[in-house]
Copies of this chain bind each other. A is one copy, B any other.
């Protein structure tokens, strides 16, 4: 029996082997089904998944063509900082530096995308790997969206870990940047002179409601964010 996976693999081979150039039309589903001796449904599934991956482009009546991949995607997996550190074989450490309930002023309201005046929980924490400063976290949590956060002291469990167990989110935004450190970062992260910080900012929402904004600062000389794209031609996987 011809599987949709084998068809995926054959089409991919045809693409990387330049049998079909980018932009070129490939045969329609019926023809492929006849070629491979299977039903159109099977071909359809294979082509749809390749289209989902951005490798093919399909339009009704117009047919299926090899996509012009002018932009390259990189999928970043941002883990809980504890598991990130522990997976690299180091010991995780955590310190809560500051905890305060405040009303959203114009600056913080813009960051978290919540109305001014609403109550926010502001936290600052330091995460360490083998005792060395790894990440300085500055977080605001909307107490309108997450009132239960008011009763958590965050002394022993980081806000990151607490949030993922509590809250689903439906939308998120990440911003990555390189910045000169401010005074607190220079001290807490024990930065060397001229060492910049790598900054990750994240905002999450559930439907229209803002949940949290966080700024994560890492020492620039030791932190790397890595993204690997699996080999398309490895047929051992989905």
- Chain A residues close to B by CB (< 8 Å): 12, 15-16, 18, 22, 52, 68-80, 83, 164-165, 168, 170-180, 194-199, 202, 205-207, 218, 220-221, 223-233
- Nearest CB on B from A139, distance (A): 14
Q: Does the CB pair B176–A225 fall under 8 Å? A: yes
Contacts of A205 in B (CB 8 A): 231
Contacts of A75 in B (CB 8 A): 73-76
Contacts beyond the supplied A71-B83, A176-B176: 15 A-B pairs with Cβ under 8 Å = A12-B170, A16-B206, A22-B168, A71-B78, A71-B79, A72-B77, A73-B76, A74-B78, A76-B76, A172-B229, A173-B228, A176-B226, A177-B198, A178-B198, A207-B231
Contacts of A195 in B (CB 8 A): 180
Interface residue from B83, B164, B174, B226 paired with A175 (Cβ < 8 Å): B226
Contacts of A207 in B (CB 8 A): 16, 231, 233
